[in-house]
Structure 1
Amino acid sequence: MITIDDMKKAVVAALNENFDYPCYEFGVVEQMEYPCFFVRITENGELYTKNRYQQRYAVEIVLMHERGEHGQEIKVLKDIEKIKQIFLFAMQTEKKKVPIMNFEMEYTGERGNVPRITFDSEFLDDLYKPSDAPLMKELEMKEDLNNGNAKH
């Protein structure tokens, strides 16, 4: 089953693979390097069947540039487009590829100049854990025929 931690790792890994910007948790306010990302994942879901769970994750990525950086709008727009290309259709987690939907971008912050990208991922997931017991390697059967009746 894919966990919220798996989703966060996948988002951060995809950003780190494509950008040289650090990723921080929301709430970090000191000693940040700019530009940087803040990544937050929220989750809700419901039981779909006895063995399946309907997973729903919401992903939020905030792209921060240093205050006072003027003339950065084109660079920011290129970064947003790059993020869109990374997360537009699907995202690879350690366990499987998951679909992406509802990709949106808006500006937030005191001056409305901080890009905020959000998207969702919704999929069915197995509830059971595969057994780690060794599989049977060989089966021996002995069958005796006695007057047309089989004995095992």
Structure 2
Amino acid sequence: MPHATFSTPLGTCAIAWSDAGLTRFLLPDPDRGRSDTEATPPAWVATIIERVRNHLAGDMQDFCDVPFDFGRMPAFNRSVLEATLRVKPGHTASYGEIAAAIGEAPAASRAVGGALGSNPCPLLIPCHRIVAASGNMTGFSGPGGVATKARLLALEGAQLL
């Protein structure tokens, strides 16, 4: 799978793609280095990279138009990620609200959290915008955990408790 790393105001990110769309995006990780197998991104991926840089520099971007390759993903996870794409910068939603958006009962909140925990493209598919019904920050699988989630929300101007 072709991939590349690139610098942003918050550190080095990584991105991977297929002919069908993005397959992976990794938030900055201080332990990430460049690899010998990196590819030159096609123009459409280079545009996404520039948008990520802009977003992390404070120029909010909405990535709902990005093509994602969900080909190997379970249908439930795909529906959760598609609903999460509708949560705009500066806003949050609860796990229960995402469950309701995909036609599930509030009891599916935990399964929504599981699907978001396996999000292959955090930031682009904004799982950091999904919080507990109380507004509390809950798990985040990206580097830095909940602290990174709070930092991304603050960057976007979301109202935090």
Q: Same fold (TM over 0.5)?
A: no
TM-score by length of 1: 0.28
Greater fraction helix? 2
TM-score by length of 2: 0.27
Q: Which has the larger radius of gyration?
A: 1
Greater fraction strand? 1
